[in-house]
A = this chain, B = another copy of it.
């Protein structure tokens, strides 16, 4: 999901983009080149980086939805894959690796507030991984920091808010697809009923703002910090998202139950992510709020 939006954004900005994926994907049509390989195959990744003379890597590959029940595979892909990228970057003199990390690194530091008002956290918040996915993200970031210090690879970790936009479906993202369902079902004239989570405050960001923030991390002259929040910096609930959908689709039927954790993964890292560093160092400023984000989402669905 992030990859597709970032490839398009970078191509629009005039960059040559090579897509590396397990199989040919729609993103490839916007790209200058493509390669098929397993991200955990260090030799293959190194070859692609060398052959295409890659200057910057945006590393998005990760196992998300099934990480908790398959820790071995989660580590192979999320940590082994990042190691392959970092080793390859070192061997191929890649200048920068932009790693698509996650607020999951904060694990159960957050969400402790039973009333649902998510804490506001800065980009200096200590990590505290809980689930398997969280642990893999902390490990990958930690490795990247070491390659930055020891091996001259300018590693940057981006931690995103809850992303909504085309491509984030329930099949690949599990409960994380709920935000998309709240837009796509009404767009198709279907009612949406969300069991629970209406009281949960969360930081929701439109995928095109994710693409913007990620592209800025690629093109910024320098990235003095290692961790950045690409986020809205604003707290919203599903009711706010529903209002945005109803404004665009009069008569949309959306029903939201009370309670917390609308994603339903038992995750505890809902938070409003302050993005001071990203604004200062990357020049990041979200271009969409919930209303304009939903409107753009619906326009893209209609195509």
* Chain A residues with a Cβ under 8 A of chain B: 42, 68-69, 71-72, 75, 79-80, 83, 86-87, 126-132, 134-136, 138-139, 142-143, 145-147, 150
Contact = CB atoms under 8 A, between A and B. Distances in A.
> Quick one: copies of this chain in the complex?
2
A143 B71 contact: yes
Main secondary structure, interface of A, reads helix
A139 to B, nearest CB: 4
Contact of A68 (B79, B128, B146): B146
Nearest to A151: B71
Contact of A135 (B42, B130, B143, B150): B143
25 contacts: A42-B72, A68-B146, A68-B150, A71-B86, A71-B87, A72-B83, A72-B87, A75-B79, A75-B80, A75-B143, A79-B79, A79-B139, A126-B126, A126-B127, A126-B128, A127-B128, A129-B142, A130-B145, A132-B142, A132-B143, A135-B138, A135-B139, A135-B146, A136-B139, A138-B138
A166 B47 CA distance: 46
